[in-house]
Structure 1
Amino acid sequence: MPDRTESESRKLLRRLRDTLAEPGKGQERLDRITHIIADSMRTEVCSIYLFRDAETLELCATEGLKAAAVHKTRMRVGEGLVGRVAQSAQPINTGNAPAAKGFRYMPETGEEVYSSFLGVPIQRLGERLGVLVVQSKEAREFSGDEVYALEVVAMVLAEMTELGAFIGEGAALSPLHQRTAMFRGGVGQEGVAAGHVWLHEPRVVVTNPIADDPVSEQARLRAAVDALRVSVNDMLSSADTIDGEQKDVLEAYRMFANSRGWLRRMEEDIARGLSAEAAVEKEQSTARARLQTVPDAYLRERLHDLDDLSNRLLRILTGQGQDTGAEMPPDPILIARNIGPGELLAYGRSLKGIVLEEGSVGSHAAIVARALAIPLVINAERITTEALNGDAILVDGEQGVVHLRPEDTVAAAFNDKIAMQAKAQERYSSIRDKPAETRCGTRISLHMNAGLMADLPSLEGSGAEGVGLFRTELQFLVRNKVPRRAELAALYARVLDASGGRRVAFRTLDIGSDKVLPYMKREDEPNPALGWRAIRVGLDKVGVMRMQLQALIRAANGRPLTVMFPFVAQFEEFTAARDHLMRELDREEKLGRPLPEKVEIGAMLETPSLAYAPRQFFELTDFISIGGNDLKQFFFAADRENERVRRRYDTLNVSFLTFLEQIVKRCGDTGTHLSFCGEDAGRPIEALCFAAIGMRTLSMRPASVGPVKHLLRKSDLREARAIIETARERGDQSVRPAIMDWMRSQNWAV
């Protein structure tokens, strides 16, 4: 690039910096900036369009167009050339704007006399902030150097917008991180929480986007890149302790860290007048923009790698590493793109809530969040970009909604909801030690789900009669290698100790699908939920299953032991797993070790096929636990990870209740103990209906025991049963409306 262009570019940025340092309101600054850019680029027009809301751009300042159009001219994303730039996050450069695809004539601006058009996105790390436009009467395309120079200016405007330099009259002028924002995501764990943001990876704030000395800035950049390469090489030197997938990521890191093209582009940005940090962010923003348009999953992952590597480089340059010196607020709501189970467990119960940009209802993070009873919202897109440490935040895990920097009215209503729930919990505590006995005299046994030692204190406080499901996979997920048998035996023994003699149903290792062990090779399956998982893995990896069964037997040490096998689809899978347990009991006896006083061996019914197993299955198994989450998704063929379909089908659908009744009848015919385990068991209306069709044991999260018990104790199952039968005869799709009408007639809260 010619020295003259570099000099002009740096001169323009210096003029911008000086202008931004001058006192004045946001609008005055914007007006001065458009004048400076037009003058420097030798164009008749320079305009700045900023987002007023997620889909609307507003003309906020202009040099050359009619002044009356400012704050009056608006367009939707994708509308006109400006809208197309915002939509694609790519420049549009044309010498004949009226003839260009998508051109929209706006007579109020007076722009019809300008032929040439160059528009570039104003964006930061993939966050769209607006569009910067220059126009001229001369019919020509702008040169590559001019496009590049305008992109550099747009980068600086993005940084200044983020830092609040343009606070002014219009809503579009308020800085991103001072605006109220609402995010809709998926429900990972129910519950509500109010608190303040704690970022898992603190956002790097670039306060010096413009630099005077490109030589020293390039030296800083090269030194930081060298340090980055050393850190990546150090991580790879321990490659024998990590799995192949993690090693592939580090190899990608090393490839990017050694990329001459990446370093050259950043050095060119610095030559134009950017600081080293701003140059890194400019390239990172470009990668983020590409991420949104690349259909190939492999390429998207590689761009993610570049994004992560850029964050590492920024932290080296700024010194804003994980330890920023910031103190975690007393009511932290954790914000992260994604997070591993070990990292989440390290935070423990100090968290009031969790919000993730990614994740799934069955992910490691969701499993841990459920174990810790922490409200979790997943797939809250862009929240890591918009949230800052200390921001006020409200998390509604029941609706999958997050309010960031909420307005006072929203915060007041939300806090009222939390207060009402706390008051209800106080009411439930008064019946904690009373049985869940209905008005018609039917006793329902309520159990809790658990997966950590930290869950066990809830056994006493919730009023649960036992643990209907203890998830054993968490101890495998949080380690970098297979846990030792002695470690597992000690843990399981502590669980039994903490239960105080209450029944604990240990579910054997349930991995696969979206629960992949860090040290297990990921299987590339087209539909993992229907693939190699749970009991299928256990029967293929017999060594791991045997080791876990031995640990359970030794943990019992003469006490009763309850074991259930997950995701059993057919009778022979259960018999094969049961035979392994019986052989381990024989082996332990021959070794002279104490055997459990009593052994219950059960299966989780999570596939419709098992409901139709031979009668011998129901006679052989000691108990069946319906895994409601999986059973419902397979019954309705609706992926519970897919927000578009998972809420379409109601648990109280007449067809599903009829299917459950068949299971109740088959278990009743053989005297097989039956329970329902899952999220629906903890919803009072669903629990009432399950009890009405004959289920006598329900297992749920600890916080749900009180509400379910409260409703059951004032209900008559005969009345509920009659309503279900009437709804079925009437041809209702779901019994929910009829049950809710009945509850209203009783003056019960719905």
Structure 2
Amino acid sequence: MKSVVHELARIVQTVAMADLPIDQVNLIVESISETMAVDVCSLYLANDKQEMMLLASHGLAAKAVRRVKLPPGKGLVGLVASSRHPLNLADGELHPNYFYIAETQEERFHSFCGVPIVHTGKVVGVLVVQGREIRHLSDEEQGFLVTLAAHLALLLGNSPLAHGDMVGYNERVSGVKGAPGIGIGHIKLSDHGELYSVVDTPCEDIPGTLEDWQQLLVVVRGQIDHERESLGSEITGSVAGIFSAYKMLLEDPAFVTYVEAGIEKGNWLPGALRHAIQHFAELFLAMDDPYLKARHEDVHHLGNKLFNAWRGIKPVDAPPDMDIVLVGPQVSVSDIAAVPSERLVGLVCFEGSGLSHTAVLANALGIPAVMGTGRIRRLVDQASIIVDGNNGQVTLNPGDMVIAEYQRLANDRRSLMKQLEKLRELPSITPDGTEITLYTNTGLLADISPGLHNGAQGVGLYRTEIPFMVHDSFPSEEEQVSVYRQVLEAYKNKPVYMRTLDIGGDKPLPYFPVDNEENPALGWRGIRFTLDNSQLLMTQVRAMIRAAGENEGLRILLPMVSSTSELDDFLQLLEDAIAQLETEGLSILRPQLGVMVEVPAAISQIPFWAEKLDFISIGSNDLSQYLLALDRDNPRVSGRYDHVHPAVLMEINRTLDLASKHNLSVSLCGEMAADPVAVVLLLGMGLRTLSMSAAKLPQVKWLIRSLPLNMAEALVSRALTCPYPAEIREMVRTELEGLGLQDLFN
């Protein structure tokens, strides 16, 4: 056999490039047959009933393919699946589990070697080779099959073929939830030129190209202003921050001069622009914080916008009287603005995350969106498509029955959201009279209005990193005051919890590089970074206090605190900042102070810190990840992540008990705050303040106003004795459905 490594790479790459799932499985069996010089190679894939379906074969009778189904555990293939272990036989007919199926005409073959294909711990298929000769496969050959099966598991684990999809109808593609809702329409491809595909080319006229660059900046600034005006009436000002961020980068001297330097070195404008965009995008991409990491998409968006403006490309031209779903690697703001709002029913992006500007804009406009699907091949303009933003799924070429079912869900969802609008001005209070406070999370100025529109009682987490990321040097105190004041004034007379700068480790600033760390998640970040750079922290604290003035709403929130000395050092800095500002004659108020409980070590130290703090805020995302040692953004382990894991619930319960004993108020932010199952358990534990994305506020308020507190308390008592997250979820969900709240899970 040829080089194992070479052949593995060749087969996996060939299969991955196939357009359709059925093409993938055919390529698998053909490529393996050729490489191993075997008479038969067959691929069996498990369906929903755990039957092993013969989906592709080189060597067995063609009439058996996609018709033969082996009952669970039946035959040699069933034995491989049930044992999760390879089976290498010189003559398969002699084995007691041998099961003959006449349709396959496999009586001509003797040797048998089958290996299981396992995805996320479950057997999803079996790969089989057979031969006319009576012989065992060599160790090398068996090892090749085992290794190849491990690679193929990543390709086949979620294959629609197991559900009978052979021709691309009703084909489902999974992605990331971008904005909730269901959109049914027709594809309009938003796939313009890709800046990252540009190659370096010598510049023939450097002075002229520099002038072209300056003119291009003027043109794109004008486009951005026009798009902002076009969308203004639709978004009620809530997405202004997106356009401000674009213009901020266009006016950033560090970015402009980076492109100019590339041109002056002899690169043509697109090449110099590509280098600059990749440089600034990679700074964000290297960060650990999901919110900041998502900002690399915004830089990439702007790069493509500049490139396409240079090429003279115009936004998509949507057909009249047709419901449109924009689909592309990155759907631009220009394309969104070009489609009449009443015709734009969905967005699908091959790249991006739920935190990207496209997702923020989709939420503000109320357009269902799915992000990060990966490239979807063989898309055709005006083909039918369904966007399920509630579950992060896209259905291509849906049949009439599927469309009808989704239309019913969409109508139900629309009716529900219309009903929930009536709750906006009503208190968030349980049927038995317990009041719950609901805050929103924000970081972009674009996020401000949706929270107010949906009835947020304040800001539970304001991320202050963005002003630091878009400058070519540390932002001045005056610049920070201006940004913070906008947020505080928008939520005047309401609490605003501002987290101090959370950078460092693997979240470097472009103008303040930090040496690489072997384990940045446990490294120089959060409060550790800012205390070591106390001049930056002093400027930021002064800016926060000045922005608040005599507004009582400011709360300062410290990230990643793990020791009493860190808290003491900050308290001294806070005292110094207040003294300085009072000496300068400013009218200010001392802000309330709290820490984020996201490092598990913080929980046990709450008794030591109680006299130094006004509140604590549980950062459920980081706390869950640290407790479970699981990265929820790592696809290899994310399936094991669940914040209703008993360990997480018990530590949150312990946190609430300690806070209660020491008279500390507690809030919780992160995904738990918007998960209906988790909300029930948190209320049952005694939590009374939640902070979440603006889009989730209406549903959570509906849940609170429908849920008797004694039911939540009974459920949490049962949950804390249950060892399995799945059982906890099922138990709570059953009770909520009994209250008529099943639509919370749609």
TM-score with structure 2 setting the length? 0.60
Q: Does 1:80 align with 2:24?
A: no
Q: What corresponds to 1:454 in structure 2? A: 446
Q: What corresponds to 1:510 in structure 2? A: 502
User: How much does 1:671 deviate?
Assistant: 0.7
User: How much does 1:523 deviate?
Assistant: 5.2
Q: Does 1:182 align with 2:172?
A: yes
Distance (whole Å) between structure 1 residues aligned to residue 511 and residue 337 of structure 2: 20
Three-state SS of the structure 2 residue aligned to 1:564 is: strand
Q: What corresponds to 2:373 in structure 1? A: 380
User: How much does 1:530 deviate?
Assistant: 3.5
User: How much does 1:456 deviate?
Assistant: 2.8
Structure 1 residues 105 and 392 mapped into 2: Cα distance closer, same or farther (>3 Å)? closer
- How many pairs were matched up? 533
Q: Does the 8 A contact of 1:232 with 1:254 survive in 2?
A: no
Moved more, 97-106 or 685-694: 97-106
User: How much does 1:250 deviate?
Assistant: 9.4
Aligned counterpart in structure 2 of residue 579 of structure 1, from 553, 563, 572:
572
Three-state SS of the structure 2 residue aligned to 1:554 is: helix
Counterpart amino acid of 2:458? G
User: How much does 1:451 deviate?
Assistant: 2.0
User: How much does 1:565 deviate?
Assistant: 1.6
For each residue in 1:628-676, what CA deviation from the matched residue of structure 2 results, as whole angstroms up to 9, or x when unmatched?
Answer: 1111111111101113322323322333211111000111011111011
Three-state SS of the structure 1 residue aligned to 2:638 is: coil
Write out aligned runs for 1:325-474 (5 A): 326-327=316-317, 337=329, 355-359=348-352, 377-383=370-376, 386-387=378-379, 393-404=385-396, 406-474=398-466
Q: Does the 8 A contact of 1:348 with 1:372 survive in 2?
A: no
Q: What corresponds to 1:37 in structure 2? A: none
Distance (whole Å) between structure 1 residues aligned to residue 368 and residue 570 of structure 2: 35
Structure 1 residues 728 and 179 mapped into 2: Cα distance closer, same or farther (>3 Å)? closer
Write out aligned runs for 1:137-216 (5 A): 182-187=172-177, 192-193=182-183, 202=192
Distance (whole Å) between structure 2 residues aligned to residue 181 and residue 253 of structure 1: 48
Mind listing any 5+ residue stretches in structure 2 that lack a counterpart? 1-16, 43-56, 63-164, 215-251, 272-299
Q: Does the 8 A contact of 2:650 with 2:720 survive in 1?
A: no
User: How much does 1:53 deviate?
Assistant: 2.8
Aligned counterpart in structure 2 of residue 564 of structure 1, from 553, 557, 563:
557
Q: Does the 8 A contact of 1:360 with 1:378 survive in 2?
A: yes
Three-state SS of the structure 2 residue aligned to 1:686 is: helix
Percent of matched pairs sharing the same residue: 29
Counterpart amino acid of 1:587? Q
Write out aligned runs for 1:5-154 (5 A): 53-56=20-23, 76-81=26-31
Aligned counterpart in structure 2 of residue 661 of structure 1, from 639, 642, 653:
653
Q: What corresponds to 1:589 in structure 2? A: 582
Q: Does the 8 A contact of 2:210 with 2:260 survive in 1?
A: no
Q: Does 1:716 align with 2:708?
A: yes
Q: Does the 8 A contact of 1:243 with 1:518 survive in 2?
A: no
Aligned counterpart in structure 1 of residue 641 of structure 2, from 609, 633, 649:
649
User: How much does 1:722 deviate?
Assistant: 1.8
Three-state SS of the structure 2 residue aligned to 1:675 is: strand
Q: What corresponds to 1:552 in structure 2? A: 544
Distance (whole Å) between structure 2 residues aligned to residue 634 and residue 426 of structure 1: 39
Distance (whole Å) between structure 2 residues aligned to residue 509 and residue 328 of structure 1: 43
For each residue in 1:509-533, what CA deviation from the matched residue of structure 2 results, as whole angstroms up to 9, or x when unmatched?
Answer: 2335775545553754444433433
User: How much does 1:537 deviate?
Assistant: 2.9
User: How much does 1:420 deviate?
Assistant: 2.0
Counterpart amino acid of 2:501? L
Three-state SS of the structure 2 residue aligned to 1:443 is: coil
Q: Does 1:725 align with 2:717?
A: yes
User: How much does 1:685 deviate?
Assistant: 2.5
Structure 1 residues 81 and 744 mapped into 2: Cα distance closer, same or farther (>3 Å)? closer
Distance (whole Å) between structure 1 residues aligned to residue 637 and residue 614 of structure 2: 35
Q: What corresponds to 1:21 in structure 2? A: none
User: How much does 1:189 deviate?
Assistant: 6.0
Please provide the CA RMSD for this pair: 5.0
Q: What corresponds to 2:313 in structure 1? A: 323
Q: Does the 8 A contact of 1:633 with 1:646 survive in 2?
A: no
Counterpart amino acid of 2:558? F
Three-state SS of the structure 2 residue aligned to 1:468 is: strand
Distance (whole Å) between structure 2 residues aligned to residue 505 and residue 427 of structure 1: 30
Structure 1 residues 375 and 624 mapped into 2: Cα distance closer, same or farther (>3 Å)? farther
Q: What corresponds to 1:699 in structure 2? A: 691
Structure 1 residues 526 and 442 mapped into 2: Cα distance closer, same or farther (>3 Å)? same
Three-state SS of the structure 1 residue aligned to 2:540 is: helix
Structure with greater Cα Rg? 1
Q: What corresponds to 1:113 in structure 2? A: none
Three-state SS of the structure 2 residue aligned to 1:718 is: helix
Mind listing any 5+ residue stretches in structure 1 that lack a counterpart? 1-49, 58-74, 86-91, 109-170, 205-222, 259-307
Three-state SS of the structure 1 residue aligned to 2:593 is: strand
User: How much does 1:408 deviate?
Assistant: 4.4
User: How much does 1:389 deviate?
Assistant: 6.8
Structure 1 residues 376 and 51 mapped into 2: Cα distance closer, same or farther (>3 Å)? closer
Three-state SS of the structure 2 residue aligned to 1:652 is: coil
Structure 1 residues 245 and 257 mapped into 2: Cα distance closer, same or farther (>3 Å)? closer
Aligned counterpart in structure 1 of residue 254 of structure 2, from 241, 245, 250:
241
Structure 1 residues 416 and 478 mapped into 2: Cα distance closer, same or farther (>3 Å)? farther
Structure 1 residues 590 and 358 mapped into 2: Cα distance closer, same or farther (>3 Å)? same
User: How much does 1:611 deviate?
Assistant: 0.9
Counterpart amino acid of 2:21? A
User: How much does 1:574 deviate?
Assistant: 2.8
User: How much does 1:698 deviate?
Assistant: 0.6
Q: What corresponds to 1:64 in structure 2? A: none
Distance (whole Å) between structure 2 residues aligned to residue 497 and residue 702 of structure 1: 18
Q: What corresponds to 1:22 in structure 2? A: none
Aligned counterpart in structure 2 of residue 536 of structure 1, from 528, 538, 557:
528
Q: Does the 8 A contact of 2:317 with 2:338 survive in 1?
A: no
Distance (whole Å) between structure 1 residues aligned to residue 191 and residue 360 of structure 2: 21
Distance (whole Å) between structure 2 residues aligned to residue 232 and residue 539 of structure 1: 48
Q: What corresponds to 1:499 in structure 2? A: 491
Structure 1 residues 234 and 320 mapped into 2: Cα distance closer, same or farther (>3 Å)? closer
Q: Does the 8 A contact of 2:506 with 2:516 survive in 1?
A: no
Q: Does the 8 A contact of 1:601 with 1:622 survive in 2?
A: yes
User: How much does 1:352 deviate?
Assistant: 6.8
Counterpart amino acid of 1:438? T
Moved more, 529-538 or 190-199: 190-199
Structure 1 residues 721 and 332 mapped into 2: Cα distance closer, same or farther (>3 Å)? same
Distance (whole Å) between structure 2 residues aligned to residue 589 and residue 248 of structure 1: 46
For each residue in 1:529-555, what CA deviation from the matched residue of structure 2 results, as whole angstroms up to 9, or x when unmatched?
Answer: 334333233223333322222221111
For each residue in 1:377-433, what CA deviation from the matched residue of structure 2 results, as whole angstroms up to 9, or x when unmatched?
Answer: 4442223x6556766544334433223454444444334333322211222122222
User: How much does 1:466 deviate?
Assistant: 1.3
For each residue in 1:78-131, what CA deviation from the matched residue of structure 2 results, as whole angstroms up to 9, or x when unmatched?
Answer: 32359879xxxxxx9xxxx999999966999xxxxxxxxxxxxxxxxxxxxxxx
Distance (whole Å) between structure 2 residues aligned to residue 321 and residue 83 of structure 1: 47
User: How much does 1:449 deviate?
Assistant: 1.4
Q: Does the 8 A contact of 2:347 with 2:369 survive in 1?
A: yes
For each residue in 1:213-269, what CA deviation from the matched residue of structure 2 results, as whole angstroms up to 9, or x when unmatched?
Answer: xxxxxxxxxx995569969986999998349999999999959999xxxxxxxxxxx
Q: What corresponds to 2:155 in structure 1? A: none
Distance (whole Å) between structure 2 residues aligned to residue 244 and residue 521 of structure 1: 19
Three-state SS of the structure 1 residue aligned to 2:581 is: helix
Structure 1 residues 745 and 201 mapped into 2: Cα distance closer, same or farther (>3 Å)? closer
